[in-house]
Amino acid sequence: MEGFPYEKYIDLENNPYLIGRVTVYHVKEDYHAEVDIIHRESHKIFKHVDIVYNQYSSEEALITGVQRLRQFLEKIEKAAEPKSKDDLH
């Protein structure tokens, strides 16, 4: 891959206004990825999710960044699920 930093955009299901973004940076001999949720039109950051440091390749940084985004979204989705009556006891 050429030209750093570079950005990868990920569509978010059920949200036409936001998208995921993983930005990969090449710093010395390592690669880092910044993970954000941004507004689709303005590209302003809605939520900073995480930063991944010290990956050995740009592909690994990208993959790990996408995984962190997915984990964050699953955590939010799980927290939004209604509690069943069985969970209250």
Query: Mean pLDDT per segment of 10 residues, for the chain of length 89 residues?
Result: 86 93 96 97 97 96 97 90 64
Give me the pLDDT at residue 43, please.
95
* 27 assigned to some structural domain: yes
* 36 assigned to some structural domain: yes
In sequence order, the 6+-apart residues with CB closer than 8 A to the CB of 73 are: 12, 20
User: What's the structural domain count of the chain?
Assistant: 1
Give yes or no for a contact between 20 and 10, defined as CB atoms under 8 angstroms apart: yes
Give the whole-angstrom CA distance, residue 38 versus residue 87.
Answer: 34
* 44 assigned to some structural domain: yes
Domain of residue 15, residue span: 6-81
* 47 assigned to some structural domain: yes
* 86 assigned to some structural domain: no
Q: How far is CA 48 from CA 7, 37, 62, 81, 87, in A?
A: 15, 6, 16, 22, 31
* 69 assigned to some structural domain: yes
Give me the pLDDT at residue 3, please.
85
* 1 assigned to some structural domain: no
